[in-house]
Amino acid sequence: MIYRKITSVFFVIFLITIQVGFSQEMTRKNRLLDSVYYFIDRSEMDSLGFNVNKKDALKAIDISDYLMIDSLRMDARLNIADLYIYRDKYTELSMVLEEIRSFGERAYKDNYDYYRYLGISLREQVLTDSAYTCFKKAKALGVKEGDSIFNGVVSYNVAKSELLRHEYEKAEETIINGLMYLEPGAKQPLFINSLYMLLASCKFEQEDIEASIDLYKKVYRVAVKQKDTLLMANALNNLSYSSYFGGQKDSVIYYLEKGLKIKNLKEKFPRFYSMMLANLAHSNFLEGNSDQILENYNEAYEIGILSDDYRVLTFIDFYRGYYFYKKKPRELKKSLFHAKRALKISRKVASNDRTLNNLLFLTEIDEENSLKYAKAYKKLNDSLDNMKYHTKNSMMGIEYETLKKQQENEALFKDNLVKQKEFEYRKQLGVIILLSIVALLLFMAILLMKFNYKKSKTSFEQELIKAKVKEEERLDIGERLGKDVATTLKRVKHHLEVNQELKLAIETEMVSELIESFSQEITIRNFDTVTFKTQIKNLITSYEKDNFKLDLKGLDHLDLRKTTVPQKQALFLGVRETIQNTVKHADATLIKIVFSVHENKTKVVITDNGRGFNTDSKRNGIGLKNIRERILKLKGEFLIQSKLNIGTITQISVGF
């Protein structure tokens, strides 16, 4: 027995230990999950700077790898891929995409962000056709998912690829399609403006320079309104370029200088500032303006070094090499130095288009090594063509699989259509039978409801007739008590007074007043039948004479929604009893009756211009006494103030 108890205790302890351990592990896992998304959110904060953003994004990757949740690992890597694209770090982007591919096709095959980022990576490697295939795949997946914002964003990438493929009309159509996704509700203003910039480039390539300039000006106005520093600079830079080819050479330097004066451009976007400064120096050189050309090139290069942007550096070195080669007198040594350094940097950042330009330029200026550079140019160009071929084949595999899937889907669709028609026919037949049964049941239910309604209506009408009969009987009894019994008692009282039976006369008067008060209470009509306001007005009308006026105020605007039936009865009886007493005893010619609502109380003040009485010595009648008690039970107030030869003020109030 003892052994069993000990075993049970140990078993319970074991279960509790497992439960606590499991609970702690789940809590820790949930915290780590939250940490991944915390670091992803932090990595998107531009204010922290690229290095901090990258550090946070890498932390998110490390934690997701520890948790071994594939969807989380994908999210973390797609996040850092987005960061690398934003900062033009395309070598790092390629490495991240390679990591994603290592997860297996199942991880990325339906992920439209992955195909968009892959397209951007391929485009930077000058693999335009393959990039175009990826962007189309991304958009197809976005359409399937119904993600309108993504479809608008990826339309920019598709249109840019079409522009590079010289498919200008197609590009325009894609841009307009993208704007249709984004402009309603002004979703993603950055990409809306980018699409308009791309449309301007499209017009430029079609030699519609005027339309291109108008579009760039439109984007600039929007950028000023939105206080978008980078967009303003970008629009002005492109305006300068378009103006040069549009024959507006005076505007070229004007737009560049205006862009360089944009507030905080140098601090916020040093890369773009250095590029614009290099463009200004190059434009001044082409226009024959020798002022500050070298100073501008040198400043642009120093900013490029500080911002650690080698793509800008190779661009500036190419410009400087061109400058020293074309200037008079020519400085070939300096030209070769900058051209070779531009080549070295472009190879370092794997910028194939820049590398080809630099090799072509060196073939022209370096006579001794011209053949070497020409061979290098051919080798790289052939390598790119070969890469395009293999990548295109790979992309064709994607297109083939997509096409094959579409054909299979079409065959299945046709087969399903036949089966669906048969199913629909049977379904419709079943629905018709079901509806017939439902209609029959509904008809029977309506008949039953109609019968019950008639029955209940008849019963209700009978009850209503009975209630009306009782109401009339009650009112008739009240009137008889008031007229017949009370009048008879008054005659008895008068007879007793004549015969000096004063004690009996007083008691008879009290009984008469009691009966009269009771009569007044039971002769109040139901407020559902005749409203409170109507009964008050009828009461006033019944007492008015040529030499006796009643002035009623505040009743029409009185809010009685919160006033209960007993409170209405008390107010009505109070008003009626006060008017009766005034008529009987006060010799008044005017009564003022004022209704109001104040501090959650319904109040009536009745003032007469009668002879008044001494409130200390005057005995209250039974009617007033009963009404006072009724009002006090309802937690109301009943006050009488009177002065001889001035009049009487009666205040009645009930709370709600």
* pLDDT one-digit tens code per residue, 20-76: 444 555 566 677 778 877 888 877 776 566 677 788 888 888 888 888 887 788 888
The single residue listed with the structure tokens 């040529």 is 546
- Provide the token pair at 26: 């789940």
pLDDT in tens, 577-622: 888 888 888 889 999 999 998 888 899 999 999 888 776 554 456 6
Percentage of the chain modeled with pLDDT above 90: 4
CA distance 285 to 47: 37
CA distance 100 to 41: 20
Q: Measure Cα distances from 333 to 164, 229, 322, 324 in Å.
A: 35, 39, 12, 9
Backbone angle region of 602, left / alpha / beta, with phi > 0 → left and psi within -120 to 50 → alpha: beta
- Provide the token pair at 650: 């009666």
- Provide the token pair at 2: 């003892």
CA distance 410 to 40: 41
pLDDT in tens, 11-36: 455 445 544 444 555 566 677 778 87
Phi/psi at 602 (5° precision): -90, 125
Q: With cut-offs at 50, 70 and 90, classify the pLDDT of residue 551.
A: very high
The single residue listed with the structure tokens 């549009």 is 246
3-class state of residue 510 by DSSP: helix
- Provide the token pair at 73: 């690992």
Strand partners of residue 548: 545
Task: Identify the pLDDT of residue 476.
Answer: 55
Q: Could you write out the three-class secondary structure of 209-223? A: HHHHHHHHHHHHHHH
0.75 cut: is pTM over it?
no
Task: Identify the pLDDT of residue 245.
Answer: 82
Contacts of 527 (CB under 8 A, 6+ apart): 535, 565, 568
Mean pLDDT score of the chain, rounded to an integer?
A: 78
CB 68 within 8 A of CB 32: no
pLDDT in tens, 153-197: 888 888 888 888 888 888 888 888 888 888 776 667 777 888 888
CB 95 within 8 A of CB 122: no
The mean pLDDT value for 644-653 works out to: 90
Task: Identify the pLDDT of residue 20.
Answer: 44
Asked if residue 401 has pLDDT above 70, the reply is: no
pLDDT top residue among 494 and 645? 645
CB 259 within 8 A of CB 233: yes
pLDDT in tens, 260-304: 888 888 888 888 888 888 888 888 888 877 778 888 888 888 888
- Provide the token pair at 420: 């669906």
Asked if residue 338 has pLDDT above 70, the reply is: yes
Which helix (H) or strand (E) segment is 638 a member of? Answer: strand 637-643
3-class state of residue 307 by DSSP: coil
- Pairing between strand 601-608 and 590-597? antiparallel
3-class state of residue 49 by DSSP: coil
Task: Identify the pLDDT of residue 22.
Answer: 44
For residue 377, which of 391, 361, 388 has the smallest C-alpha distance? 361
CA distance 346 to 91: 12
- Pairing between strand 590-597 and 549-553? parallel
Q: With cut-offs at 50, 70 and 90, classify the pLDDT of residue 343.
A: confident
Q: With cut-offs at 50, 70 and 90, classify the pLDDT of residue 478.
A: low
Task: Identify the pLDDT of residue 592.
Answer: 94
Q: With cut-offs at 50, 70 and 90, classify the pLDDT of residue 339.
A: confident
Asked if residue 534 has pLDDT above 80, the reply is: yes
Asked if residue 473 has pLDDT above 70, the reply is: no
Task: Identify the pLDDT of residue 603.
Answer: 92
End-to-end CA distance of the chain: 72
For residue 242, which of 204, 272, 280 has the smallest C-alpha distance? 204
Which helix (H) or strand (E) segment is 637 a member of? Answer: strand 637-643
Phi/psi at 552 (5° precision): -105, 130
* Bond before 184 cis per omega within 30 degrees: no
- Cα 559–Cα 560–Cα 562 angle in degrees, nearest 5: 110
CA distance 354 to 481: 117
For the purposes of burial, counting CB atoms within 10 Å of the CB of 5, is it exposed (0-12), middle (13-18) or buried (19 or more)? Answer: exposed
Asked if residue 420 has pLDDT above 50, the reply is: yes
180, amino acid identity: M
Task: Identify the pLDDT of residue 169.
Answer: 87
3-class state of residue 600 by DSSP: coil
- Provide the token pair at 365: 């200026």
CA distance 348 to 558: 89
200, amino acid identity: A
Q: Which long-range contacts (CB under 8 A, 24 or more apart) does 212-219 make?
A: 212/242, 212/246, 213/239, 213/242, 213/243, 213/246, 213/248, 216/242, 219/193
CA distance 520 to 641: 24
Q: Starting from the edge strand earliest in sequence, which strands make up the sheet with 601-608, in order?
A: 549-553, 590-597, 601-608, 647-655, 637-643
Torsion sign across C-alpha atoms 486, 490, 491, 495: positive
CA distance 639 to 631: 11
pLDDT top residue among 37 and 385? 37
Q: Could you write out the three-class secondary structure of 269-318? A: CHHHHHHHHHHHHHHHHHCCCCCCHHHHHHHHHHHHHHCCCHHHHHHHHH
Q: With cut-offs at 50, 70 and 90, classify the pLDDT of residue 645.
A: confident
Phi/psi at 366 (5° precision): -100, 90
